A and B are shown apart, each in its own frame.
Chain A
Amino acid sequence: MIAAEPIEKERPAVVPCEALEAIASEMLKGVTVKRFGEIISWAAAQPGVPPNAANALRVAGWFAEATAFREAEERLLSEGTHRPCLAGLIGAGENLVWAAEKFGMAASGSPPFPTLEDLKATLDSLQTTFRCEHGPKNSEKTNELIGQLLDGSQP
């Protein structure tokens, strides 16, 4: 009679929790930014959700939108929808900064949750993009000076 192998040897080499993480990631591919935003907004608006927790949820939804914007930016520029999309994102971000400063933001800085400073830095980078893409350009004199500063010819 052949003795059964110990069960320990038959276990897969992959750590189970890593395998589950991969499966969850695949499932999320079907969730659009809009759908994710709807889920987040619904959860944040439920009775009994404290304002600081609602802010944390809304910030998570906003970051998903901001990430999607960066990924689709070139296409939005070619379609002519870059400016309104960016303006909407900036407006929503400003509202979130105001709400987070007034009511707080739960889990701020506890990974994977961003801090208020992360939110402000992202908003600032979007405002920079808006200004550079759609705002006024530098004067020729300013560009000449910056060119000199960057090529090392300015003392």
Chain B
Amino acid sequence: MARNPEIEGILKAWWELDHCQPTEKARRKGTLDGLLAQVVARGRGAVTPDQIQTYLYPQYKDYCRELRKAGRISVQQSAMKP
């Protein structure tokens, strides 16, 4: 599904925070917070990071399904190789 690059970047950073190694969590959170802060600044503080994530959550769930599906396909393809 085509999304604008900024939304794609936020969804990617969100996924990486949720699914990275425990020792990478703080760093990944910093990346996501930075991207959300750019949107907040553009809105001159009229919206919060929490509200942006609530807005994007349905897209984030779709994004997670797409990645899981792609992961399953690549696993199945590698299993079929002789």
Contacts and interface: CB of A to CB of B under 8 A. Distances in A.
A132 B17 contact: no
Candidate in A74, A117, A132 with the most chain B CB atoms within 10 angstroms: A132
A148 to B, nearest CB: 9
Secondary structure of the A contact surface, majority rule: helix
Contacts of B64: 73-74
Secondary structure of the B contact surface, majority rule: helix
Q: How large is the interface on B (under 10, 10 to 19, 20 to 34, 35 or more residues)?
A: 20 to 34
A74 B65 CA distance: 9
A138 to B, nearest CB: 5
B55 A118 contact: no
B39 A150 contact: yes
B18 A146 contact: no
B51 interface: yes
A120 B47 CA distance: 23
Contacts of A152: 4
Contact of A138 (B6, B43, B54): B54
B50 A122 contact: no
Contacts of B50: 128, 131
A154 interface: yes
A146 B52 contact: yes
Nearest to A120: B26
A18 B61 CA distance: 37
20 contacts: A74-B64, A114-B23, A115-B23, A117-B25, A118-B23, A118-B25, A121-B17, A121-B25, A122-B22, A125-B17, A125-B18, A131-B54, A132-B57, A138-B51, A138-B55, A142-B55, A145-B47, A146-B52, A149-B47, A154-B42
